[in-house]
Chains A and B, each alone.
Chain A
Amino acid sequence: MFDHAYSYKFVGKEKGEDGSYVAHLFRFKTRQNRTIIFRAEVFDNPHPIVVVKFFDKAHRLSEKRFSLLTNTGGFGSIVATCINIMFKDLVGSNPYLSFAFMGAPKPKELAQKRLHNTQRFRLYALLMKRKFTPLHYQHAIMETYSCYLILNRDYCEDKPAAVEEMLEALKKTYPNEAKW
C-alpha cells in the first residue's frame, strides 16, 4: 500500500508571512488525476526544522484544506510520495533537518472539535516509526493535539535546548493551527 510513490515536481519557494520560514512547494498527480500540493515549511532560525503539510489542490482556497478528504482512494501512494520528498529533497539538501507535523482532524472529527489522537495522526505516526530509523532520529508525540516531532540526533544530541527552542519557534509562527 505504501510502497508505490508518484513522481513529483518541485514548483518553487515561498516566503512565510512573518519571514520565519521558506516554504518549498512540490506537486504531484495521483492515479485518480487529483493534484496534490506538498508544502515543506523550512525553518532555519534558531534550528533547522521542517513543518510538512499536504493537501488537494482543489481545496487550496479552503480553510479546512488539511482536513478535507478527496474520497478517491490511493492515500498510501500519496503518503509514500510525501515521505520520498522528505528524504530525497529535504534531507538530501540538509542532513541535519528535523521534522514536525500534525495529523489534521477529519471533517467528522473537526465537527466534534476533536484534536486528540486523530485518525490521521495514528496512521502517520505508525508510518514514521517504520521509516525514520531511531539511529538517526528521535521521535516524540503529543497525543493531546496529534502533533509529531522527528528530531535529528546528529543535530540535537549536543544541544539540550534545541527542542524547546524549535517548539518555541513553531508556537510563534502557528499560534492557532496546532498547539506545539
Chain B
Amino acid sequence: MSTLVIAEHDNSSLKAATLNTVAAAQQLGADIDILVVGGSCGDVATAAAAVPGVGKVLVADNAAYEHQLAENVSQLVAEVATGYDNVLAPATPNCKNFMPRVAALLDVGQISDIIAVDSPDTFQRPIYAGNVIATVQSADAKKVITVRTTAFDGVPAEGGSASVESVDSVHDAGLSSFVSEEVAESDRPELTSASVVISGGRGMQNGENFKLLDGIADKLNAAIGASRAAVDAGFVPNDMQVGQTGKIVAPDLYIAVGISGAIQHLAGMKDSKVIVAINKDEDAPIFQVSDYGLVADLFEALPELESKI
C-alpha cells in the first residue's frame, strides 16, 4: 500500500496544510510520498523532503504547472497516481480545483473533506453544512481524498530527510491560460492556520470599522475573518469569508463580532476550541455555540477589549 500526498504551496514555500494532510495520510498506514507540482518550485521540494515520515518527494517543475491550472495539473497527478493506492490533498481552494478532475480521469469517486479515518476505506465527513457527520465507505481500488486540515494536527515540518526525484512529464492541455492575479498582501497569520481568529459580521457596518479589529488582532497575533454578509456588503475581500462555502477554521480562540450565527457561518468555525461572541442581541444564535458571550455594542466593547488585553 502506498499513499501520495499532494503538496500545497505557492512555488516558494510549503504550506502548513500539507503537514495536516500528511498526518491524515499516516492514519491510512501506508508508505507516504509527496508530490510537488509547480513552476520554479525547488524550494518547496526541499521543504517537503524535511517532513518526517516521507519516503520520497516527487517534483514536477514546469512552466505549465506554475499557476496550478487544473487542466494541466490534474493530468500530471493522475499519471503519477497510477503507482499509488491513495491520493490525498488538503481541501484548499487550489486542490479542490483539480482533485475532482484527477478522480474523474482515474474513473473513481472523490471523498471530499474527510475529518477522520476509520479504516483504510472508511472515512467521516461533514455534510449539510456540518449539521450531520456521515461515515462513508469507498468501493474504489484507488482512493482520491481531500482532507479538512483543521481536523488533523499537522506533523512537524522538520526532522525528515526524504530523497527528491524529478518527474519529467509535461502536460499542457492547451485549453486554459493564466491572465492575472490580485492577491491581498497581509502580515497577519493565515486564516486557516492561525491560533486566534477574530471575525466581523454585518454588525461592523462598513469596511472602515474593521480597523477596530486590527488592534486586538495585533495584540493576539490573530488572523481576521468575516461573515458572508460582511463580504457581500463589500466591507472586506472574499478570501476572509469563514463558513460552509468559505474557509474552515478551528483556532484555539475564535472571536465573533457582530455576527448572528447562521448555520452556514457556524459550519466554518464551530470546531474552534474556545468561542467568544460579542453581539448586542442577547438572543443571537451565535451565543448557543459560544463559551463566553458578551451582550454589548461592539463599538464600545472592542476599544475596551483592546485596551485590556
Task: Specify whether A and B are partners.
Answer: no
Contact surface of A with B, Cβ cutoff 8 Å: none
Partner-A contacts on B (CB < 8 A): none
